[in-house]
Amino acid sequence: MKIKSNIIKGLLLVLPLCFSACREVEVIADDLNIPGLGGTNEVPNEVDYWLFDNFTEPYNIEVVYRWDPSQMSNSVAAKLVPIEYNAIKPMMAAMRDVWFEPFNKAAGVDFMKLLAPKKVVLAGSPEYHNGTIKLGQAEGGRKILLLNANNFNAKDEEALKSALHTVVHEFSHILHQTIMFDKSYQAISAGNYNSTGWQEVKNEEAYKLGFISNYAMSGKDEDFVEMLSLILVYGYDWYEKTIMKAAAESTKVDAVSALQRKLAVVETYMKNVWGIRFLDDTVTGEKGLESYMQEAVNTVIKTPPTE
């Protein structure tokens, strides 16, 4: 009995050591490049070098132009086609001049380095949905998907502004997803948002309800970024002559007051949060971001950049 007891004691003593000793160390060999995780190798071409010089090096932005369905977000269910190789530089050169440069002038060069999306994905066609088309999408402040790139023409004012509106709209989402705008904004048009039926409201009707577009009616975030992006892209003059003029004819709500209060929140937000003057200072003459963007748009329409 005593022998048995000693054996048991001996085994109990060494058992934990046995388990701790029986281990397997897995080391991944240094030269092992796991397929699919290291990216696909392509021979760099002229466009690759140009994108590196204009976006990757100065802003740490990757511009994905080669078709990759996994980059298309929820667009993967719809049929899309890749961008034209020859359309990449004209589009991105124009975007650099009308999107990045005005922000650089109004906010300093570090602003876009800090906040620009780290990935811009280009696709050639728009995304079709039951008679409507989608032109772009932002994703978590990290990525902007730009669709319809094959139809981009910088000389066509409406086409240029449409593309610019897409990127500035999506970029504005990144701004408020980084630091939220004042909560008072959502109270201004409370009760008039229509997340499911905004498509059935014409723009002119939306103006008279205190919105800058019908899409702005789809929710407070969209309302905010539509105010910010449409005024930047189409200009304060357009805002005054089109939106405010229509709003003044409203008999339903005080649309003028609603739009004025929304613009005030936008201006304050841009100034206090990001240190950017949104509109020109009428007293000192200091230019605002809106002026820089309008000047850039007019320059690009007259002389589209090729490099």
Partner 1 sequence: MRFLKYIFAGISLMFMLSSCEKEVIIDLEDSVNVKVQQTIDSYISTLAGAPNGWLVDVMTSDGYYQFFMEFTDDNFVTMYTDNINHPDLNAVPKKSTYNIRSLQRITLAFDTYSYLAIINDPDNSISGGSGNQGLATDFDFEIDSLVNDVFTMTGRINRVNAKMRKATSAEKKAVLNGGLMNALRNVINYKADKFCYFRSGDIDVSVIFNQRTIDIAYIGKDGKTLFESSVDAHIRPSYDIELTESFDVAGKSLSGFKWSAAKREFSALLGSSTFELGASDKSVIPFYKLFGLDRKYTQMTTLKSLFDENNSNLIYRLITISSNMANTAEASIAFVFDEAGAPIMKFTVYVNTGVYSIPVTYSYSLTYNEEGDEFTVGEAYYNNDPYGYCEYLDILLTGYSIIRYWENKTFTVDWSTKTYNGWKMGTIIEKTNTNNQFPGVFF
Give me the residues that bind partner 1 (CB under 8 A), please. 3, 6-7, 10-11, 13-14, 17-18, 21-29, 31-36, 40, 42-43, 45, 65-69, 78-85, 87-88, 124-128, 150
The answer to whether residues 224 and 176 touch, using CB atoms and an 8 Å cutoff, is: yes
Of residues 22 and 283, the one with the C-beta less far from partner 1: 22
Outline where DSSP puts E strands in 117-269.
119-122, 127-129, 132-134, 136-139, 143-146
Q: Is 231 helix (H, G, I), strand (E, B) or coil?
A: helix
Least separation in angstroms between residue 290's CB and partner 1 is 34
Residue closer to partner 1 (CB basis): 123 or 154:
123
C-alpha distances (whole Å) from 179 to each of 169, 183, 289 are: 16, 12, 19
**Least Å from the CB of residue 127 to partner 1:** 8
DSSP labels, 251-266:
SSS-HHHHHHHHHHHH
Q: Considering the complex, what minimum distance in angstroms separates the CB of residue 215 from partner 1?
A: 21
Q: For partner 1, give the closer residue by CB, 26 or 307.
A: 26
Q: Which is nearer to partner 1, 95 or 106 (CB)?
A: 95
User: Contact 163/99 with Cβ under 8 angstroms?
Assistant: no
The dihedral sign for the CA sequence 138, 55, 156, 293: positive
From CA 150, how far away is CA 295, in angstroms rounded? 25
Identify the CA nearest to 139 among candidates 50, 64, 206, 247. 64
Q: How far is CA 154 from each of CA 63, 64, 230, rounded to the nearest angstrom?
A: 19, 20, 18
CA–CA separation, 145 vs 241, rounded Å? Answer: 32
Give 128's contacts (C-beta < 8 A, 6+ positions apart). Answer: 78, 79
Residue (90 or 102) nearer to partner 1, CB: 90
Q: Which is nearer to partner 1, 162 or 299 (CB)?
A: 162
Q: Are 214 and 192 in contact (CB under 8 A)?
A: no
Cα distance between residue 136 and residue 80, in whole Å: 12
CB nearer to partner 1: give 40 or 284: 40
In angstroms, give the least distance from the CB of 210 to partner 1: 30
Residue 217 burial by Cβ neighbours in a 10 Å radius (0-12, 13-18, 19+): buried
Task: Report, in Å, the least distance between residue 115 CB and partner 1.
Answer: 29
Tell me the closest approach of the beta carbon of residue 16 to partner 1, in angstroms.
Answer: 10
Smallest distance, Å, CB 293 to partner 1? Answer: 29
**Closest distance to partner 1 from the beta carbon of 81 (Å):** 4
Q: Which is nearer to partner 1, 123 or 232 (CB)?
A: 123
SS3 31: coil
CB of 20 to partner 1, least distance (A): 8
Query: Of 33 and 177, which CB lies nearer to partner 1 in the complex structure?
Result: 33
Q: Which two tokens stand for residue 103?
A: 């922000």
